[in-house]
Amino acid sequence: MRKQIGDCAIELIQGDITQQDTEAIVNAANKTLLGGGGVDGAIHRAGGPAILEECRKLGGCETGDAKITTGGNLKAKWVIHAVGPVYRDGKHGEPELLASCYRRSLEIALENGIKSIAFPAISCGAYRYPVEEAAQIAISTVADFVRNRDGIQLVRFVLFDNKTFYAYTAAFEALE
């Protein structure tokens, strides 16, 4: 699926974030930035030790923020590590923190001249964010960002499983 918003194409695909050929991919990282399970572990494994080496120098990252490193052995030149919120009940700032992850990742992309970026479903795995809610936040935050800023030409959401892909598809189709 693909929609054009201004100069930016937004795409949804089902696949593996580590195989994307965008200039940057976003890692659903934890606060330490030192690797973990799910997307985080897959990116560290596929990208090799250069990513972890740079992450060690960053001193971690706060929830809702993001930091950038090399892409190591990945096709993507850069990895933007975004720390999503652990979902409790949606009443502890989780929606704002999740939206902030997407905004900060796009801001960092612009600061580094990156024009194409791929996102996973941040916080939807081990952090237990309800995928339907997360999809709406992700899609609307990215769409608002690219409507109001020039520079990003492609945003691709790379969803790993059917449930996540269909939830993002529903949010994407509702986008005006």
Catalytic residue among 7, 40, 65, 89: 40
| 101-130 pLDDT per residue, tens | 999 999 999 999 999 999 999 999 999 999
The residue extents of the domains of the chain are: 2-174
- CA R_g for the chain: 15
For the question of residue 21 being annotated catalytic, the response is no
Instruction: Say what the pLDDT of residue 20 is.
Output: 98
Question: What fold does the segment set 2-174 form as a domain?
Answer: Leucine Aminopeptidase, subunit E; domain 1 (3.40.220)
Residue percentage of the chain with pLDDT more than 90: 96
What CA–CA distance (Å, rounded) separates 24 from 110? 11
Q: Which regions of the chain are under pLDDT 70?
A: none
What CA–CA distance (Å, rounded) separates 14 from 73? 22
pTM over 0.85: yes
CB within 8 A of 30, min separation 6: which ones? Answer: 36, 40, 83
